[in-house]
Structure formats: structure tokens, C-alpha cells
């Protein structure tokens, strides 16, 4: 399966191959943000293409591409996504493509564009679906009882905060919150001393499910539009003090970063793979049989200020224990509704592999957060130039990347990056 060539020069190493065609929201200069599709180093301006009559089936619906979010396009439904994808693949591969004559009106260089949050996200749920992550973290927080008795029976999750989801490139202030210092009995309000990243994938919901109805695993695939990379920033010292009994709150609510390009599920079909065997077998409503995991290579790099990048983690989404169909079936088993644009993230993706061969990482490098990579902040990782990290410092930039490749076909996610800014000033006290 070799990807067809385009008349546009697209590097074979590009994440944005002719087979990918991810959707995003871009703007150039002072122009209004609108819908685009990434191809190589370019963005296809879908509003311009539709206005010029290149997308005949969209003649009466050009405004769908003039929106500042993808929600209205997503609401057109899977047959519309698939027909657009076919039209675009023809326009960028056929020698006789009518796009060639108007390329200067329809193509924008990514380097000249600004990317925006692609979707209006109404609700955000973060799962905890990696067995390796749950076990490693459980050992640090509860050495006697790492994996809770429910973990292999249900996809554990918490309801996250949608308002603070930001697009790649948005800097993130070090949060402050209550922390219980070691040995103390009374907490203090302090900037976190344990700022972490979490490497995750996020699924964008593509179809509404009504309140009061369930979505079965067999139908759950119809409810997914596409996928993004997610950095679920986390403050471990705040989390440790606040998380029992209701789960994370301020340790997670200050920011979640996502990549700007939404990779359509249709582009990921060749990379679907079976997940790990589930033992004990889940209850019947959670059973799936099929290739519903993604064979997707993932990595995290750290760039401290002007210093070079260090790769901290390399792993693969295929290791995830619970798949998206199980997550959707579980999420809706109560009758809870899903809405177009909701974000369902996987939880930190850790693996069993050796990870990158950087010094100081040894066998920990397939773990998707610093909490695991540094064994709870007790064993620093070595970074380029001889520095060390337990948790993130101000000025550190975290960069996550993901791509799938198979038989000459490459589909990538680009990047999600974010730089750590110093903490905000503490709020004043009354009286």
C-alpha cells in the first residue's frame, strides 16, 4: 500500500501525506480563521476551494468551511466527511486537477499561518486506560495496593475541564494550589514543585448520542470523527493532596494542550491493531473483538529554553488496555449523552518497551509522564548538555509527536507543544 503521489511536492517523511488530510482551523495575518486541510508543508483553504467551485457537492454549503471551529463540518456526518476526503484526494493527486490553475488562491504555507483550537469542545473526559501507567503510578501513590480492584473491569476516568483546553503553542503558567509539604500536617498554597506532562491521544466525538440512550461497542465507531495528540498537564504535589476521595481537580484543570490537526479516523484504518488480551474478560457490554487499537508511534521531547531537545519517552498507542469503543460504551451506559466536539482522551500512554536510548532513562523511557520516568521525582532523567530533570522547570518546552507508518504509507499528527511560564502571583488574603 504505497501512498499515491501528489502533483504538490510532499516529502515522504511528512506527517501530512495525501492519505492523511487532517482538518484544522487556520488564519493568515488578520484574516478570519477558517477550515483547512494539511498537505505536506501546505494548508488547503477549503473555504477558498469551495468558493472557487472546486468542491461541487459543497456549493450550497460553503459557510461550513468559513467557521472558526470544525463542529459544523463534523455535524454533516460521516458520508459527507468521506465524500470530501475522496474529492480532496482527487484534487491533490490527479494530473488534470482544476486545483492546479488556482493553487495560489487555495494553498497557504503552514509556516505563514496561525493555528487555532480546531473544535469547540463542550465536554472533556480523561480516561486512565494504560495498564502500565496505572500500575506504575499506583505503586508510587499506594505501594501496597497499586491496581485498584475495579481497574480491569471498567475504563476508569474523570470528567475534565473543557474551558482550559488550548491549542499547541499556547504557553502554560505553572499552577499554584494546596500542597502538603513532606512531614507537615497543614497544607500551604504554593506554586507546584512537581509540574508534569501526560502523553495521551484524544478522540473527537463526531455524532450526538441523545440523553437517555446507550451506545453499544458495535456502534461506537460511528461516533468518532478523528484523533489529536493531548498533553494533559498535571501538578503531582497538588494531585497527591487533593485526589482522594473524588479524583483530580486543580492538579489538572489549569491547562490541557491539543495538537491543531484532527486526523480523520478514515486515515487511521490501515493502522488499526488488536489491543492486549483482557483478563478477566470484561462484562458483556464492554466486550469487543477486533482491531480497535492504533499502532501509533509516540514520543515526548523536552526543550529547555534555547538548549537542544532531549527525547524523554518513546512508546506506542497499541499498548492501551481499554479501546475507544469500550470507553464510549462505558461512558454512555448510564444514558449519558455525547455531543459533537466532545474530547475523550486515553489517559497517559506508557508502554513495555525500552524507550529511547538516552543516558539516564534506561528501561523507563516508554513511560508517558515524568512521575513514572523519575519514579515519583526521586530518580532524575538526564537531558542533553548534562542537565537533569525530575519535574518541569519554568522555560521548559514539552513537545509531543505521533505518527503511524506501514508499507510506505505515513500518517502523522504533527506536534503538540507548550512552554512553561512562571507561576501567577498569589491571590491576596481578606482581612
Binding site for Mn ion (CB under 5 A): 126, 198, 232
Distance, CA of 377 to chain centre: 25
For residues 15 and 126, which CB has a smaller minimum distance to Mn ion in the complex? 126
Task: Provide, rounded to whole angstroms, the least separation between the CB of residue 233 and Mn ion.
Answer: 9
234 phi/psi in degrees, rounded to 5: -140, 140
Residues designated catalytic: 133
For residues 42 and 322, which CB has a smaller minimum distance to Mn ion in the complex? 322
What grid cell was written down for 115? 493555528
For residues 71 and 234, which CB has a smaller minimum distance to Mn ion in the complex? 234
22/88 Cα distance (integer angstroms): 11
Q: Which residue has the cell 461541487?
A: 56
193/57 Cα distance (integer angstroms): 54
Burial class (CB in 10 A: 0-12, 13-18, 19+), 124: buried
Burial class (CB in 10 A: 0-12, 13-18, 19+), 67: middle
Peptide bond into 280 cis (omega under 30): yes
Label residues 308-345 b or e (16+ Cβ within 10 Å = b).
eebbbbbbbbbbbbbbbbbbbbbbbeeebbbebbbbbb
Question: What sign does the CA torsion over 329, 158, 210, 68 have?
Answer: negative
Task: Provide, rounded to whole angstroms, the least separation between the CB of residue 369 and Mn ion.
Answer: 8
Task: Provide, rounded to whole angstroms, the least separation between the CB of residue 133 and Mn ion.
Answer: 9
350 phi/psi in degrees, rounded to 5: -110, 160
**Residue whose CB is nearest to Mn ion in the complex, by number:** 232
CB distance 327 to 202 below 8 Å:
no
Task: Provide, rounded to whole angstroms, the least separation between the CB of residue 160 and Mn ion.
Answer: 8
Task: Provide, rounded to whole angstroms, the least separation between the CB of residue 406 and Mn ion.
Answer: 28
H or E element at residue 258: strand 256-258
For residues 126 and 397, which CB has a smaller minimum distance to Mn ion in the complex? 126
For residues 126 and 237, which CB has a smaller minimum distance to Mn ion in the complex? 126
355/357 Cα distance (integer angstroms): 7
For residues 198 and 372, which CB has a smaller minimum distance to Mn ion in the complex? 198
| CA angle (135 as vertex; 177, 368 as ends), nearest 5 | 65
Task: Provide, rounded to whole angstroms, the least separation between the CB of residue 331 and Mn ion.
Answer: 16
92/88 Cα distance (integer angstroms): 6
135/147 Cα distance (integer angstroms): 6
Task: Provide, rounded to whole angstroms, the least separation between the CB of residue 234 and Mn ion.
Answer: 7
Q: Which residue has the cell 504509507?
A: 409
Burial class (CB in 10 A: 0-12, 13-18, 19+), 141: middle
For residues 264 and 418, which CB has a smaller minimum distance to Mn ion in the complex? 418
For residues 107 and 369, which CB has a smaller minimum distance to Mn ion in the complex? 369
Task: Provide, rounded to whole angstroms, the least separation between the CB of residue 255 and Mn ion.
Answer: 12
Amino acid at each position: 500500500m504505497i501512498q499515491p503521489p501528489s502533483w504538490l511536492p510532499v516529502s515522504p517523511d511528512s506527517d501530512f501525506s495525501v492519505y492523511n488530510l487532517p482538518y484544522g482551523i487556520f488564519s493568515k495575518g488578520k484574516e478570519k480563521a477558517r477550515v483547512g486541510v494539511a498537505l505536506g508543508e501546505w494548508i488547503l483553504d477549503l473555504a477558498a476551494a469551495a468558493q472557487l467551485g472546486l468542491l461541487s457537492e459543497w456549493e450550497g454549503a460553503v459557510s461550513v468551511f468559513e467557521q472558526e471551529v470544525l463542529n459544523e463540518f463534523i455535524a454533516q456526518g460521516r458520508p459527507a466527511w468521506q465524500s470530501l476526503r475522496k474529492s480532496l484526494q482527487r484534487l491533490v493527486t490527479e494530473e488534470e486537477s482544476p486545483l492546479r490553475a488556482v493553487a495560489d488562491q487555495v494553498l497557504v504555507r503552514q509556516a505563514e499561518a496561525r493555528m487555532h483550537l480546531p473544535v469547540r469542545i463542550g465536554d472533556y473526559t480523561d480516561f486512565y486506560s494504560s495498564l502500565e501507567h496505572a500500575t506504575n503510578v499506583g505503586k508510587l501513590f499506594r505501594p501496597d495496593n497499586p491496581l485498584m480492584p475495579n481497574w480491569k473491569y471498567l475504563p476508569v476516568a474523570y470528567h475534565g475541564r473543557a474551558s482550559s483546553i488550548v491549542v499547541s503553542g499556547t504557553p502554560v503558567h505553572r499552577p499554584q494550589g494546596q500542597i502538603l509539604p513532606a512531614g507537615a500536617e497543614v497544607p500551604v498554597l504554593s506554586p507546584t514543585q512537581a509540574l508534569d506532562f501526560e502523553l495521551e491521544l484524544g478522540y473527537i466525538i463526531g455524532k450526538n448520542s441523545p440523553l437517555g440512550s446507550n451506545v453499544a461497542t458495535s456502534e461506537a465507531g460511528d461516533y468518532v470523527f478523528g484523533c489529536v495528540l493531548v498533553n494533559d498537564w498535571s501538578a503531582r504535589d497538588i494531585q497527591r493532596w487533593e485526589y482522594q476521595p473524588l479524583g483530580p481537580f486543580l492538579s489538572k484543570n489549569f491547562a490541557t494542550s491539543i495538537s491543531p490537526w484532527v486526523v480523520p479516523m478514515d486515515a487511521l484504518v490501515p493502522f488499526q491493531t488488536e489491543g492486549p488480551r483482557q483478563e478477566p474478560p470484561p462484562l458483556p457490554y464492554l466486550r469487543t473483538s477486533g482491531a480497535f487499537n492504533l499502532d501509533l508511534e509516540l514520543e515526548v521531547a523536552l526543550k529547555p529554553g534555547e538548549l537542544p531537545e532531549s527525547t524523554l519517552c518513546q512508546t506506542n498507542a497499541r499498548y492501551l488496555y481499554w479501546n475507544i469503543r469500550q470507553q464510549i460504551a462505558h461512558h454512555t451506559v448510564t444514558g449519558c449523552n455525547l455531543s459533537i466536539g466532545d474530547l475523550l482522551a486515553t489517559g497517559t500512554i506508557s508502554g513495555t518497551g525500552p524507550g529511547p536510548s538516552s543516558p539516564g532513562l534506561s528501561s523507563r523511557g516508554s513511560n508517558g509522564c515524568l512521575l513514572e520516568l523519575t519514579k515519583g521525582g526521586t530518580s532524575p532523567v538526564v537531558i542533553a548538555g548534562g542537565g537533569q530533570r525530575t519535574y518541569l522547570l519554568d522555560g521548559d518546552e514539552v513537545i509531543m509527536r505521533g505518527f503511524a507508518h506501514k508499507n510506505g504509507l505515513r500518517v502523522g499528527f504533527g506536534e503538540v507543544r507548550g512552554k512553561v511560564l512562571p507561576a501567577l502571583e498569589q491571590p491576596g488574603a481578606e482581612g
